[in-house]
């Protein structure tokens, strides 16, 4: 039979998008691939909800095994998300010699090691373009487009929800809690938003990108993660005065001897292309030792952008099926025997410049006490903004420091926050001046 | 013998860059590909100049045939540029069943039809990532990353020289001629800069991108091309007042019934990501019907970025050699039998908004004469700026129009420029408000 037969497990939002793409652009894809993609079976527990797409020629089932064990199906798309049963389904696909496409970043960040190893052991491919940056072709760009490069750094805006919230706060939308609530009402944030705003979701994606860039195993729990909840519009405004925007950045700096990997609010120079990435958009700024700085930009989530990535992966694996070229590109962009564990530098040893906002009683000697403690901890001040004088009330004192170690900053701020003249926990945000 | 053997024709700037990449990152590339890339032969007329790279293990020759006819070589890199003998060398490679990597945009834009057809006929691959956007992986993104999409529009800053000149003029660097001369002195512009500043080079690149997006033959002479030489700092300043930057854009708008393809100075909304692309950087803003808007950004030229793209192509073809999967991805992203001629809409029929700057004598009734002629030609005015009143001297009157057809604008300006109160040729620049 002509064509490449595929199965889908998970008929939710993205799954419906995939069906829609195959329906609307199927003939275009056939012109490109040379053969039709035939969606033979879909498995989902819910077979009743109308997804608004035609499944007349598809066999629907509540039993995922009917997809996994169908001998005619050579590629299975896993879109149920979460750890289990997604993990078991994928491992079962491998045993059935089926190639897999997944968008499941959490699963790959935590269990990627096992999953990639098992795929190799069974001689099948697993593709996961949709796991990072929605429809942006960043995974294949790292694996193929930049194959001649040692990747030296990656800076990503990888979470649409948190970028939307920061953009709204920058545009005068109010305090974090208020903007979050509006985002939830508009459907831009989940009812439980913690994966997004606490930085877990972008950290999952960073783990995947870092694995690809270095060809290695990344221990997810070694990636430092800090969310948005302590950022106030005041910090965004002061940052602008210093010439920076506040972004939730996923950062990897890769040197031969050590790797930094961290997700946290970051001051980004206002003229840097990442500063212009607003709303739910995503972007990945990648520097290679040959190509120099590059950036990949687009919608980081949503039904159709994600479906675009899923189908591009299916087409790639279908080409491998048709040309008997499975394993043509290594999953982690390096051959098995070169896959190594990547050691990640402790966040307390990471050196950056810092933005600090102190809430202090405005009386003589306060600034000198603070700067004294900073100095004792090897933190020197590059610039200070102090406005408004309201005796005996809290006033903000805002500083930009020179480069300082995380450990020193923690120690200094612990001492400063215990001073009686300091009225609230000091806000501190890392600064990245050189993003390549 | 282990490894994939390659040959290089053209040991100039980019060729030396390729040798350097293979030397410095060869072992990294081997970890990714699984086999070494072995540069066996280099052909160039000049074998004396020191390129600063090691060629100890390479056989140098002045005779390209020694590369083309070496039976051990399976991939030939063509980097001599120009039409001949590059074209003949490439066609000869195909006859010898060798896959080809080239950066030669002019050749592909003019002779692509013949070259792609001959590659198909001989069952070999030709890759050309380096022909557009330096190291930016835009060709493979169109062919593979966005394979699920009907591409609906492309907007590219595809020429570093002209973007550098416009950026300098925007930053107060002076008139066009002066900035061009400085760019030449700094090596950012050629001694004969016409290919760049007249828009020929970006039009070559647009022809290639459009062929990829539509899977078709593009007649290069149907792409309207207009250069920078009439733009003055005054126009850049007025554009900023209207909320726009002036960019030399390569534009393709693709509808089922018709295709627009044109290169000209363009007013781009200041908040659009393309407005933030400065200096010699390039970017391609691509919209697909599934993925939505995406952007690809990086250094558009230069030895090492271009070498990055060349080597990524070599690796891709080497994978095809190792997996016997030549033809796996179609050259123009569509199978042969679907390649069609792409009809391009006549520029006079293209509808855009317009920026116009009239140099007029400042006396009563002038604005009404001009707007009368515009009105008679179905051009309506959206906004006017008129500053400075110097009786009997030339003053600028600047307008933004609503949407108007090219033909109507040409006719109206011809009549207006013949008025005795109009002292100089009217400057008109197309405006693009919606770039997706």
**Domain ranges (residues) in chain A:** 4-133+303-335, 138-301, 348-431
Mean pLDDT of the B243-255 span: 97
Mean pLDDT of the B26-40 span: 97
E strand map for A121-202: 126-127, 151-157
> According to the model, what pLDDT value does residue B391 have?
62
Q: Identify how many contiguous H helices and E strands chain B contains and give both numbers.
A: 13, 19
- Give the gyration radius of chain B's Cα atoms: 24
* Residue B387 backbone dihedrals phi, psi, to 5 degrees: -125, 165
Give the residue on A whose Cα is nearest the Cα of B331.
A32
pLDDT in tens, A180-200: 999 999 888 888 999 999 999
What H or E segment, with its residue span, contains residue B92? helix B86-95
- Contact of A131 with A142, CB cutoff 8 Å: no
Q: What is the CATH number of domain A138-301?
A: 3.30.360.10
- Tell me which residue has tokens 């290919």: B195
CB-CB under 8 Å, A290 with B308: yes
- Contact of A344 with A260, CB cutoff 8 Å: yes
In angstroms, the CA A220 to CA A207 distance is: 6
In angstroms, the CA A146 to CA B52 distance is: 24
Using the 8-state DSSP alphabet, how is residue A286 labeled? Answer: E
- Contact of A356 with A386, CB cutoff 8 Å: no
Percent of chain B clearing pLDDT 90 (strictly above): 91
In angstroms, the CA A46 to CA A55 distance is: 14
Q: Which residue among B25, B147, B150 sits closest to A150, beta carbon to beta carbon? A: B25
In angstroms, the CA A411 to CA A271 distance is: 32
Sign of the alpha-carbon dihedral angle for B326, B114, B160, A244 = negative
CB-CB under 8 Å, B29 with A147: yes
- Contact of B299 with B282, CB cutoff 8 Å: yes
CB-CB under 8 Å, A147 with B330: no
Cα–Cα–Cα angle for B317, B318, B321, rounded to 5 degrees: 90
> According to the model, what pLDDT value does residue B102 have?
98
Mean pLDDT of the B291-313 span: 96
Catalytic residue among A98, A168, A205, A253: A205
Please tell me if residue A53 touches chain B, with a CB cutoff of 8 Å: no
Catalytic residues of B: 205
In angstroms, the CA A109 to CA A168 distance is: 29
* CA dihedral angle for residue A99, residue A105, residue A107, residue A112, rounded to 10 degrees: 70
What H or E segment, with its residue span, contains residue B13? helix B13-33
Q: Which residues of B201-215 are buried (b: 16+ CB within 10 A; e: fewer)?
A: bbbbbbbbbbbbbbb
Please tell me if residue A140 touches chain B, with a CB cutoff of 8 Å: yes
Chain A, residues 281-300, CB within 8 A of chain B, namely 288-299
Residues sharing a CB contact under 8 Å with residue B269, sequence separation 6 or more, in sequence order: B243, B244, B275, B433, B435
pLDDT in tens, B317-329: 999 999 999 999 9
- Contact of A384 with A399, CB cutoff 8 Å: yes
> According to the model, what pLDDT value does residue A389 have?
67
Please tell me if residue B202 touches chain A, with a CB cutoff of 8 Å: no
- Contact of A266 with A275, CB cutoff 8 Å: no
Mean pLDDT of all residues belonging to chain B: 95
Alpha-carbon distance values, B257 to A195, A270, B343, B433 (Å): 45, 42, 9, 22
Q: Which residue among B290, B294, B311 sits closest to A21, beta carbon to beta carbon? A: B290
Block mean pLDDT (10 aa), chain A, length 436: 93 97 97 97 96 94 98 98 97 98 97 96 97 97 98 97 95 92 89 92 97 93 96 96 97 92 97 93 98 96 96 98 96 92 95 97 89 97 84 85 98 97 96 92
Residues sharing a CB contact under 8 Å with residue B138, sequence separation 6 or more, in sequence order: B129, B132, B209, B284, B286, B296
**Could you check whether B4-135+303-338 and B138-300 share the same CATH topology?**
no
Taking contacts as CB-CB distances below 8 angstroms, the residues of chain A near B315 are 144, 147-148
Query: CA-based diameter of chain A, in Å?
Result: 85
CB-CB under 8 Å, B292 with A296: no
Given a cut of 70, whether residue B392 has pLDDT beyond it is no
- The pair of structure tokens assigned to A391 is 């005796």
Question: ipTM of this model?
Answer: 0.95
pLDDT in tens, B153-175: 999 999 999 999 999 999 988 99
Alpha-carbon A372 to chain mean position: 38
> According to the model, what pLDDT value does residue B159 have?
96
Please tell me if residue B270 touches chain A, with a CB cutoff of 8 Å: no
Helix axes A176-186, A160-170, angle to 10 degrees: 120
- Contact of B154 with B130, CB cutoff 8 Å: no
CB-CB under 8 Å, A299 with B297: no
> According to the model, what pLDDT value does residue A175 have?
94
Q: 3-state class of A247 per DSSP? A: strand
Give the residue on B whose Cα is nearest the Cα of A314.
B148
The DSSP bridge pattern shows strands A259-269 and A224-225 to be parallel
- Contact of B245 with B275, CB cutoff 8 Å: yes
Q: What is the pTM of this model?
A: 0.96
Taking contacts as CB-CB distances below 8 angstroms, the residues of chain A near B276 are 271, 273, 276
- Contact of B7 with B43, CB cutoff 8 Å: yes
**Confidence class for position B257, pLDDT limits 50, 70, 90:** confident
Burial class (CB in 10 A: 0-12, 13-18, 19+), B150: middle
* Residue B36 backbone dihedrals phi, psi, to 5 degrees: -75, 150
Cα–Cα–Cα angle for B217, B223, B224, rounded to 5 degrees: 175
Q: Which residues of B368-391 are buried (b: 16+ CB within 10 A; e: fewer)?
A: eebbebbeebebebeeeeeeeeee
Alpha-carbon distance values, B231 to A134, B170, B201, B235, B411 (Å): 39, 11, 18, 6, 21
The class that CATH gives domain A348-431 is alpha beta
Domain B4-135+303-338 has CATH 3.40.50.720: yes
Please tell me if residue B279 touches chain A, with a CB cutoff of 8 Å: no
Nearest to B133 by CA among B309, B263, B247, B282: B282
Taking contacts as CB-CB distances below 8 angstroms, the residues of chain A near B136 are 294
What H or E segment, with its residue span, contains residue A179? helix A176-186
Domain B138-300 has CATH 3.30.360.10: yes
* Residue A380 backbone dihedrals phi, psi, to 5 degrees: -110, 150
CB-CB under 8 Å, A298 with B290: no
Using the 8-state DSSP alphabet, how is residue B327 labeled? Answer: T
In angstroms, the CA A59 to CA A56 distance is: 8
In angstroms, the CA B26 to CA B22 distance is: 5
CB-CB under 8 Å, B144 with A316: yes
- Contact of B204 with B106, CB cutoff 8 Å: yes
> According to the model, what pLDDT value does residue A301 have?
87
Cα–Cα–Cα angle for A245, B236, B387, rounded to 5 degrees: 110
Query: CA-based diameter of chain B, in Å?
Result: 85
In angstroms, the CA A189 to CA A118 distance is: 35
> According to the model, what pLDDT value does residue B320 have?
97
Give bridge partners of residue B430 from the DSSP assignment.
B266, B354
Taking contacts as CB-CB distances below 8 angstroms, the residues of chain B near A304 are 290-292
Q: Classify domain B349-431 at the CATH topology level.
A: Alpha-Beta Plaits (3.30.70)
Using the 8-state DSSP alphabet, how is residue A290 labeled? Answer: T
Q: How far apart are the first and last CA of chain A?
A: 50
CB-CB under 8 Å, B149 with A129: no
Domain A4-133+303-335 has CATH 3.40.50.720: yes
In angstroms, the CA A380 to CA A404 distance is: 8
């Amino acid at each position: 039979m002509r064509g490449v037969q595929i199965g889908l497990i998970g008929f939710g939002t993205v799954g419906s998008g995939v069906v829609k793409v195959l329906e609307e652009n199927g003939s275009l894809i056939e012109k490109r691939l040379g053969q039709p993609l035939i969606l033979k079976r879909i498995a989902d527990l819910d077979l009743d909800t109308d997804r608004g797409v035609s499944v007349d020629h598809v066999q629907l089932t509540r039993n995922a095994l009917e997809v996994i064990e169908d001998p005619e199906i050579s590629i299975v798309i896993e879109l149920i998300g979460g750890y289990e049963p997604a993990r078991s389904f994928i491992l079962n696909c491998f045993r059935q010699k089926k190639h897999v496409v997944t968008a499941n970043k959490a699963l790959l960040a935590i269990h990627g090691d096992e999953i990639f190893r098992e795929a190799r052991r069974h001689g099948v491919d697993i593709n996961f373009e949709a796991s990072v940056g929605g429809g942006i072709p960043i995974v294949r760009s790292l694996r193929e487009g930049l194959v001649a490069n040692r990747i030296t750094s990656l800076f990503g805006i990888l979470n649409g929800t948190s970028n939307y919230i920061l953009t709204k706060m920058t545009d005068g939308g109010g305090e974090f809690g208020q903007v979050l609530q509006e985002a939830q009402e508009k459907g831009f944030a989940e009812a439980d938003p913690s994966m997004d705003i606490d930085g877990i979701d972008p950290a999952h994606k960073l783990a995947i990108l870092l694995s690809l860039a270095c060809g290695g195993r990344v221990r997810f729990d070694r990636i430092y993660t800090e969310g948005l909840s302590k950022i106030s519009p005041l910090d965004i405004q002061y940052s602008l005065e210093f010439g920076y925007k506040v972004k939730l950045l996923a950062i990897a700096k890769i040197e031969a001897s050590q790797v930094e990997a961290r997700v946290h609010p970051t001051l980004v120079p206002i003229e840097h292309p990442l500063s212009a990435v607003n709303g739910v958009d995503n972007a990945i700024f990648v520097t290679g030792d040959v190509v120099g700085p590059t950036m990949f930009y687009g919608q980081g989530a949503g039904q159709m952008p994600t479906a675009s990535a899923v189908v591009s992966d299916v087409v790639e694996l279908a080409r491998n099926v048709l040309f008997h070229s499975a394993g043509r590109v290594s999953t982690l962009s390096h051959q098995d025997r070169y896959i190594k564990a990547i050691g990640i530098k402790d966040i307390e040893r990471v050196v950056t410049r810092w933005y600090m906002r102190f809430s202090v009683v405005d009386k003589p000697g306060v600034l000198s006490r603070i700067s004294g403690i900073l100095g004792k901890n090897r933190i020197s001040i590059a610039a200070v903004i102090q406005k408004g004088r309201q005796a005996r009330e809290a006033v903000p004192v805002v500083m930009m420091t020179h480069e300082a170690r995380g450990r020193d900053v923690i120690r200094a701020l612990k001492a400063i926050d215990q001073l009686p003249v300091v009225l609230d926990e000091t806000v501190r945000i890392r600064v990245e001046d050189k993003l390549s």
